[in-house]
Structure 1
C-alpha cells in the first residue's frame, strides 16, 4: 500500500505521538508498504536538542518525510487554533494535490481530522483516525467555555465518523469514541513506549534522591498534588526532591505552588531529547503521574507511566480509572509501584514508601523486561498495521 501519515508533531520533537508514529511508519515499511509522513519543520530549539537538523535526521529513515513550516506558540509548540490551522490548511492542499494514497493515517487535533476527512473524500481515499485522546473531553476538563467544547466535539465527531477505522489506545477511549460517534468503526490497538530508548540499562542521573514527573502537565492531570505531598514528607526525607521534566499548560501554576517549599526541593526542567529524558527517569526512585477524578478524564492512560516502567522505575499514580485498574491487574507480574486515591495524605504515604524503598538494579531490570514484552511500542505498531492493512485490502477486494 501507499500510506500517508499526517501529524503536527513528529521526530525529532520529543512526544508520545512522535515515538508512536515513527514506530508505525517503520512497521508499515517492514511489511513492504510505501510510507510518506506529512509533518512540520522542527523548531530550531527542538532540532538542536535532537542533536541533528531535520534533513540529517530524516536521512536515516526508511520512509520519506515531507516537512513544512508552521506557527508555534511562545514556548515553541504547535498548540492553539491558529497554530493548528497553520498546519491543517497546507496539509489539505498537500493531500488534495499530492500523490494518490491507499490510506491516510491522521493524528489529532480534531481540526486536522476535519481537513483530512474533506480532502480524503475529494480524493476518494480512506483514512484512519488515531484516537490517542478525546480532545473535546480534555477541553471540557480544563474549564473551556461551553461554546468552545461544543465546537471541538462537533469537529471531533465529524473526524471520527468519517474514518475508515478509528484506532483507539485503550478500551476506555474506545467506549468514549462510540458515545461521541456511534457510527465509527473502532479498533482498540493499545498504547506503549519505545523500549529501544526507554530501557533499564544505560546512563542515569545521579543527583541525589528524587521522584520525577515527566511529559505534559495539564490542568486535568492535577500534578500539583505531588508538590503538596512532598511538603508533608520532607521532615522525614529532607533530601527528597521532585523533578518536573517537560512542559504543559499547568507549568507556571506548578512553579507558583512550589515557591513555599525549601529552595531546590522542586526542580523544573524544560523538554529534553528522549535519551536524556530516559536518563532522568532511570535515576529516579519513582515516577509520579495523576489524573484528577473531577476532570471527567478517567479513561486516559498517561504515556509517561509506560516510559517509567520501561526504564525500570516504579510509578506512584494518583487518581482513578484505567491506570488504577491496569496496575491492580498486573500487580503479580511486576513491581509496578502503587496506585492511590487523588488525596494529599494518600499520595504522601505512597511517596513515603517510594523514597523509603529505592529499587535495586535487579528489580529495575525485571520491571524493564516486563515492560518490553507488555507495553513495547513496536508490538502496538504491528497491531495497527494489521488492523489498517486488513481493512483496506478487504475494501479493495470488494
Structure 2
C-alpha cells in the first residue's frame, strides 16, 4: 500500500524534525535526552498534525531503538502484551501510545509495571490536556511536554524539503506558484499533516505537476481571498473586523470574522481579537480580555471547523461590550513624555534602600509606607519633578469597573487638595 506524503516525509531522526524548537532545538530537553541516552517516558500533547508521532519515531530512529505504535481506543490488551514480550528481547523499545487519554483500566494496569522497570519507553500522544485527561498513576511516571502549532516558516521549510526529496516525496519535478505556496502555509493552521495532504492532492491533480493558486484552493476547499500574496486583502479584512467591533456593529463583526474563519487563519484572528480586548474594550469591561483568552485557547485546542464556535462567542461579546481606550491612550501619553524628557531622576525617597550605604546617600529615607495609613494611601510625591503635573489616565466611565477607578482617582485628587484635576492633555 502506498503511504501518503505525510508518512513518507516523517522524520527519520531528531535533526529532521520540523518546528518544536523549544523541545528539540540545540540544548533543549528532548535533544539532551536523546544525546545522553537517558530517555524517559513522556506524554506529548497539542493539536492534531503538529508532530507528536513524528517526534516519537524520530527519537526511536536516532537512538536506533525498536519502534511500535499502539492506539488506546482501537488496539487490544493482547496487542499490548505482544509488544511487551517483544521488548524483553529487543533491548530498548519505544512505544507510541496514541490517544493515551482513552486508555482503559485493564490496559493501564498492564502498562504501569512496564513503565516502572523501564522495559518500555512510553511516548503518549494526545490532543487533550493530560493534566486533566490522563490518570494520575500514569502522569506520575512520565514527563509531560506541550507541542505548539507550526509557524508558516516551519511549514514552508517542510514543503521545500518535500519538493527536493526525489526519494521519499515526488520522483518527478514539481513547481508551485508563489501565491499557491503562500496560501498553503497560511491556511492550514500550523498543521503539518494537513499541509502535506493538501500539497500532495494539489500536485497529483494539477496539470504537468505545476500547482497554481486555483489548484491549491480546490485541494484545501478554501478560497484565498484572505491570503493574497501582498497581504493587502488579508489585512483589510482584519482592519474591517477591528473597526466593526470598535463600532459595536455585531453583524458586520460576524461577517468579517466569518471571512477570516473561512480563510482558516486562526493565528492572525487570535492576535487581532486579543489586541481588541485590551485596546478597544479595555477597562470598560476587563472580563472581556479574560473571556477572549479562554475562547482563543479553546479554539486552538479544537481547530477548525469547531473553532468557529468559541470564536463566535467572543466576537459577539467584544462587539456588544462597552468600549474604552483610556488605558491604551494613558500608556501612549506616558511613552510620549518619556520620549520628550528621557529617563528623569527618580525621587530619592522612592529609590532602593536595601543596600549598605543607601541611608547615607539619602535613598528611601523619607519614604512613607502607604499600607500604614487610612485607606492605604498617603500624600507623597511619586513622579519625577518635571512630570509632577502629568495626568495620563482619563477614564471614560463606560463600565462599572472604570467608573470605580475614576471614583478612586477623584478621591485621591481631593486628598491632595486639588479637587478633580483631570486634565485634557490629549
- TM-based fold match above 0.5: no
Structure scoring higher RCO (CA < 8 A, sep ≥ 6) equals: 1
TM norm structure 2: 0.26
Q: Based on CA coordinates, which of the two structures has the bigger radius of gyration?
A: 2
Between Structure 1 and Structure 2, which shows a larger proportion of strand residues? Answer: 1
TM norm structure 1: 0.27
